[in-house]
Amino acid sequence: MKRIVPTVILALAVAAASASVAFAGQPAGATGHGAVVSVVAKAVHSVSDKTHGQAVSARAKTHGAMVSAAARAQGAANSAAGKARGAAAAAAGKAKGAAASEPGRLKGFARQAKQP
């Protein structure tokens, strides 16, 4: 933004100078007027192209930052969901393992109780 403002002001100044030259009456015997207008027109075209390029570049950077932030947010959400699924699966696995080992554990207690 800091670079765009001076460039736009320069473009407007060159355009104003070009307009004043174009609308000024050509005095009798004036020569080289076409060359001056051509130089001014080329300068305005060059400045406006540079300004346009800077504006497009700034918009692209902004868009890239927005896309990147959205991707990071989605990645964090997916990561949290994956961690939650993993924790649920781990808890289910522990419960299944405890349920499977319960009969064996009870048999072990029963044998210890029978021993003198």
Task: Please give the pLDDT value at position 56.
Answer: 81
Task: Please give the pLDDT value at position 98.
Answer: 84
**Domain limits at 54?**
4-22+34-90
Task: Please give the pLDDT value at position 99.
Answer: 84
Residue 81 lies in a domain: yes
Residue 105 lies in a domain: no
Residue 114 lies in a domain: no
Residue 108 lies in a domain: no
Task: Please give the pLDDT value at position 82.
Answer: 93
- Paired tokens of 72: 């990071």
Residue 16 lies in a domain: yes
DSSP letters spanning 5-46: HHHHHHHHHHHHHHHHHHHSPPPTT--SHHHHHHHHHHHHHH
**Long-range Cβ contact pairs of 38-46 (< 8 A, separation 24 or more):** 40/14, 43/14, 44/11, 44/14, 44/15, 44/18
| Residues of the chain with confidence (pLDDT) below 50 | none
Task: Please give the pLDDT value at position 6.
Answer: 74
Distance CA 94, CA 41 (A): 79
Residue 55 lies in a domain: yes
Give the per-residue SS3 of 53-86.
HHHHHHHHHHHHHHHHHHHHHHHHHHHHHHHHHH
| Amino acid occupying residue 14 | V
Residue 60 lies in a domain: yes
Residue 104 lies in a domain: no
Split into its structural domains, the chain has a count of 1
